[in-house]
Amino acid sequence: MKAVYDDIQALLSRDGYPSVLRPTAARDYELAVMPPIDSGGRPALVITHLGGEWYVGGLRVRGVPKFRIGGRTNVFTAVRSLLPLVSASPAGIPPAEFDAIKARFDLVPISLGTWHSLLDNERSRRDAARGWTTLSKAANSAAWDEFERRFPLRLGMSPETWPAINEPSPSVTFDLTQVCDLARSEGADGGRGYAAAECELERHFLRCFRGCTPTDGRVLALNYNHDGYSFDPAALAEPHEDDLWPETMAPIDEYRVFGPPGYHFGAFAHPWERSLCVFGRAFLDAVLSDRPRWLGPILRRRA
């Protein structure tokens, strides 16, 4: 699929429209096309392939287009016709001209609710194909209840509330500020610095999970504000920079938990302290062995 985006990007570049190809969690990529005027850095249009169909700025393109360098397909010509209008009028395309373009290129508007449903469905499909099983609401709630019975959770942005759990013995809490800073500044290099760091962490922890999880065992990956997952470490493919885990090891924005049911080993990510607490003797020994450079300084150690 990336080759198709590359073809579209080459055509747009030839016509003077810069664009940025970005990997995303819910779909393989999206192509953000920039207007040739100062619009505060906001993209004029986003092109993406979702659920087997193409979307241009929130409009579904009917049919299955084919792409080739030098060609003029319905998706590309639709984008090429919409861009000058968006660029000339960032507040919105005049309704009459917009209706004419929709009719000409057979574009179908979709509601915001439909768009989010498409994203959720595509995310679940892709995650399942990669070995991640989305927990049901009941299973997710039960998993968090079990964790909080063992590790009562204290939510808080203030250092007075840290650590957020009664860190068990043995455990080590690492400072992941450096990775979090990369995530915050990802616009400078298109996110490549953060993606490389997170990928290195995921590869390391996957090896550790594989070494500590019995055959056919599963690991939970929980997010405090979203649906969680389970995965079989032995069956999970190696992560790479364009295919990171749906739940990151770095504590970005959310409280996260990784560990098997019962939590006799695992990791707890704290978004405000920017820390990762790793616990369980064998798991901790595996994590400390050949420790990746992105697993930062030790904040606390429980013997």
Residue 66 has pLDDT above 50, yes or no: no
Helix (H) or strand (E) holding 172: strand 171-175
Position 71 scores a pLDDT of 38
Cβ atoms of 83 and 34 closer than 8 Å:
no
Q: Which residue has the tokens 């906001």?
A: 42
> Could you give the C-alpha distances from 153 to 14, 145, 171, 172, 223, in angstroms and in order?
54, 10, 16, 17, 13
Residue 118 has pLDDT above 80, yes or no: no
Residues 18 and 12: their CA atoms lie apart, in Å, by 7
Which band of pLDDT confidence, cut at 50, 70 and 90, is reported for residue 64? Answer: very low
- C-alpha angle 176-177-182 in degrees, rounded to nearest 5: 105
Residues 147 and 266: their CA atoms lie apart, in Å, by 11
Q: Is the peptide bond before 170 cis (omega within 30 degrees of 0)?
A: yes
Answer with the residue of higher pLDDT: 18 or 102. 18
Position 188 scores a pLDDT of 45
**pLDDT tens digit string along 131-140?**
999 999 999 9
Position 213 scores a pLDDT of 97
Position 296 scores a pLDDT of 92
Residues 301 and 168: their CA atoms lie apart, in Å, by 10
Q: Which residue has the tokens 């990510």?
A: 269
Which band of pLDDT confidence, cut at 50, 70 and 90, is reported for residue 68? Answer: very low
Residue 42 has pLDDT above 70, yes or no: no
Position 38 scores a pLDDT of 47
Which of 150, 11, 155, 7 shows the shortest CA–CA distance to 77? Answer: 11
Position 91 scores a pLDDT of 47
- Which amino acid would we find at residue 3? A
Cβ atoms of 271 and 252 closer than 8 Å:
yes
Position 6 scores a pLDDT of 73
**pLDDT tens digit string along 193-247?**
888 999 999 999 999 999 999 999 999 999 998 889 999 999 999 998 888 899 9
158 burial via Cβ count (<10 Å: 0-12, 13-18, 19+): exposed
| Both structure tokens of 270 | 């704290």
**pLDDT tens digit string along 241-284?**
888 899 999 999 899 999 999 999 999 999 999 999 999 999 99
Report the percent of the chain where pLDDT is more than 70: 65
Which band of pLDDT confidence, cut at 50, 70 and 90, is reported for residue 34? Answer: low
In what order do the strands lie in the sheet containing 59-61? 19-23, 29-33, 45-50, 53-56, 59-61, 107-109
Rounded to 10 degrees, what is the CA torsion of 48, 53, 56, 57?
A: -80
For the question of whether the overall pTM of this predicted structure is more than 0.75, the answer is no
Position 67 scores a pLDDT of 36
- Which amino acid would we find at residue 142? A
